[in-house]
Amino acid sequence: MAGNVICKLGKNVMKKNIYSVLLLPFIFACTEDNQQNISSFEEEKKYEWRLVTAWPKNYPGLGMAPERIANLVEEMSDGQMKITVYGAGEQVPAFGVFDAVSSGSHQMGHSGGYFWKGKVPAAQFFTGVPFGLTADEINAWTNRGGGIKLWREIYEPFNIYPIPAGNTGTQMFGWFNKEINSLDDIKGLKMRIPGVGGEVLKRAGGIPVTLPGGELFTALQTGVIDATEWVGPYNDLTFGFHQIAKYYYYPGWHEPGSMLELLINKDEWDQLPNHLKAIIETAAKAVNQDILDEYTAKNNSALRELVDTHNVELRKLPDDVINEFKLIANQILEENAKKDEMVNKVYQSYKSFKQDVSEYHKVSEDAFVEARNN
């Protein structure tokens, strides 16, 4: 009896195993179909995102960077992702971009990191700091020197994923209605200048003011400010500063290579399929270089127009003023690093990279430019 039961059980198990083996191809086929359906759904799903900026709509250089990113993303995704760009004030104020992306009210933003120094002090290193990295150097530090990892680390608590998205190159110091012959001329001067540059001006006796670009002409015209920096000849000409200020000073010690940023809400980013992430990263990287190319190509002709046509007086800051600014800037950077652990972490990486790249550039780019121009 026991033997018959065991045989019967064995036959049933054998039948089940046979059925299981026969069903395996169908099970795998269903699994593959499901995976293909999921993949197909991701590829077919349409994404419509909103991008807010700190710049006037369609403004040359700065304002066109997000427009070009949006166009490239839509084209490379064959229309799967459409990004609508809004200029400063159209949906959020110029200085409300960071909060809009962080909260998720808008999926993307475009701006400069030093505007958020009150929230994220270390963010300034990813725009530019006085006497710091040039455009090529900050690109190298960010993309190949560990900077991008730190940048994403400091923005992560705010639910933001940053990507480099433009660079203006070395800027001008700015527009003044009086000559700067010594540090005494800085005392009491009300100047629009953001970031660490503003801290340097304050310690030198000036009064730094932070204003969005769209308000600068009126502020300078009405005497709210005595001087302003903006970008460089290409952009400054379009704002018409030459109509209300006589002196145009260089060098732009405060912003040697200002990087722009594409901000993406981290929750939205994480939900994107990988191919769209790759498209956005690629588009931003292309525009990051394209904007620098645009400024490099346009600045000199704009400067010639300012000087030759509009009789602007181009002036170099006195060496003693520059040297004092450099001394103050280094003091501020060291002090800020001691106050904040994350600032120090970013600063040490930035400073180490700057030291290394500067040593090499002494015998490469710097040496060549000196030989070429002398």
- Which of 25-34, 223-232, 251-260 has the weakest average pLDDT? 25-34
Give the model confidence (pLDDT) of 97-145 as tens digits.
999 999 999 999 999 999 999 999 999 999 999 999 999 999 999 999 9
Strands 207-209 and 190-192: parallel
pLDDT band at 44 (very low <50, low <70, confident <90, very high): confident
3-class SS at 257?
coil
Q: What percent of the chain clears pLDDT 90, i.e. is strictly above it?
A: 88
- The pLDDT value recorded for residue 34 is 53
Give the model confidence (pLDDT) of 63-102 as tens digits.
999 999 999 999 999 999 999 999 999 999 999 999 999 9
- Quote the mean pLDDT of the chain: 91
pLDDT band at 39 (very low <50, low <70, confident <90, very high): low
pLDDT band at 35 (very low <50, low <70, confident <90, very high): low
Q: CA-to-CA distance for 126 and 251, rounded, in angstroms?
A: 20
Neighbours of 355 (CB within 10 A): 9
Give the model confidence (pLDDT) of 199-210 as tens digits.
999 999 999 999
Segments making up each domain of the chain, as ranges: 47-168+257-295
How far is residue 309 from each of residues 12, 25, 57, 242, 329, measured CA to CA in Å?
Answer: 98, 79, 27, 10, 36
Q: CA-to-CA distance for 231 and 157, rounded, in angstroms?
A: 30
In CATH terms, the fold of domain 47-168+257-295 is: D-Maltodextrin-Binding Protein; domain 2 (3.40.190)
Q: CA-to-CA distance for 165 and 85, rounded, in angstroms?
A: 14
